[in-house]
């Protein structure tokens, strides 16, 4: 990691810790800033792990309530992003293990006006093709064992590094590497992408 990168990381950590400090001191704007920064990320993670739009909205609410309760105790030992991902993954795991398996096929049209896709600039034809491919991949993802799904989602959808994933899941980097590889391999087989 270069010097510039290190100083950027330290600066970001300082910003994160300051946000937590402001929250601790009762500054309501601090939580609003956290929400604005991470809402989309948490919602998408919850959606990919639960496979259900409505469930994802409920999970997102609950996750942010947890964040609100514990933000004051964030000490900057990891980045706020990693910390939030950890809360989100743990909460989804906890809730989804007690609830039912995925019931709504992933990528299915969630109903009128419920979901706005993030990229409205794409044309209808392109969107339709992308939606078809996306549905197939999403259905495959939903069939992966949860530990592999988490690893693949964090890496390939959320773009976390192996080190960050290890922090989020509280496992060793070797385990992350193995879960991503096995998850991809199973997904490739499910989607019948042949070498």
Partner 1 sequence: MKRHLSTEQLSSFLDEEAGHAEVREVEGHLASCPYCRSRLSSMRRLVVEIRRMERAAPPPDLGYQVKAQVVAQGEVRSFERRVRDFFRSLVFDPSLRAASAMGLTAVLVGGFLVWQSVPPVPPPHGRTEIVKVSTTFGEPPLGLPETTSEVAGREFVWSGDRWVQKGLEWKQPDSRVMLASPEGQAMISRYSDLMLLLTDGSRVVMRYRLGTVELSKG
Which residues contact partner 1 by CB under 8 A?
Answer: 28, 31-32, 35, 39-40, 43-44, 47, 53, 56-58, 60-62, 64-65, 68-69, 107, 114-119, 127, 130-131, 133-134, 137-138, 141, 152, 155-157, 161-162, 177-178, 180-182, 184-185, 187-188, 191, 193-195
Q: Are 144 and 183 in contact (CB under 8 A)?
A: yes
Alpha carbons 175 and 167: distance in angstroms, whole number: 12
CA-nearest of 60, 19, 23, 55 to 38 is: 60
Q: Which is nearer to partner 1, 11 or 122 (CB)?
A: 122
How far is 115 from 36, CA to CA, in rounded Å?
18
Q: How far apart are CA 127 and CA 109, in angstroms?
A: 13
Closer Cβ to partner 1, 11 or 145, answer by number: 145
Q: How far apart are CA 150 and CA 88, in angstroms?
A: 11
Nearer CB in complex with partner 1: 14/108: 108
Minimum CB separation of residue 125 from partner 1 in Å reads 14
Minimal distance, residue 5 CB to partner 1, in Å: 15
Please count the other Cβ atoms lying within 10 Å of the Cβ belonging to residue 172: 10
Residue with Cβ nearer partner 1 (11 or 172): 172
- Residue 31 C-beta: closest distance to partner 1, Å: 6
Least spacing, CB of residue 6 vs partner 1, in Å: 19
CB of 7 to partner 1, least distance (A): 22
In this structure, the number of other CB atoms found within 10 A of the CB of residue 95 comes to 17
């Amino acid at each position: 990691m270069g010097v510039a990168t290190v100083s950027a990381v330290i600066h970001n950590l300082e910003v994160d810790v300051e946000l937590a400090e402001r929250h601790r001191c009762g500054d309501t704007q601090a939580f609003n800033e956290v929400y604005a920064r991470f809402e989309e990320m948490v919602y998408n993670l919850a959606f990919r792990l639960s496979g259900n739009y409505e469930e994802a909205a409920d999970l997102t609410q609950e996750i942010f309530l947890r964040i609100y309760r514990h933000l004051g105790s964030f000490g900057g030992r990891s980045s706020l992003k990693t910390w939030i991902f950890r809360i989100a993954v743990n909460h989804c795991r906890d809730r989804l293990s007690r609830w039912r398996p995925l019931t709504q096929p992933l990528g299915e049209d969630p109903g009128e006006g419920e979901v706005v896709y993030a990229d409205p600039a794409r044309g209808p034809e392109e969107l339709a093709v992308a939606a078809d491919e996306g549905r197939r991949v999403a259905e495959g993802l939903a069939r992966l064992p949860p530990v592999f799904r988490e690893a693949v989602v964090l890496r390939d959808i959320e773009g976390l590094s192996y080190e960050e994933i290890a922090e989020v899941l509280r496992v060793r980097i070797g385990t992350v590497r193995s879960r991503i590889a096995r998850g991809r391999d199973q997904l490739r087989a499910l989607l019948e992408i042949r070498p």
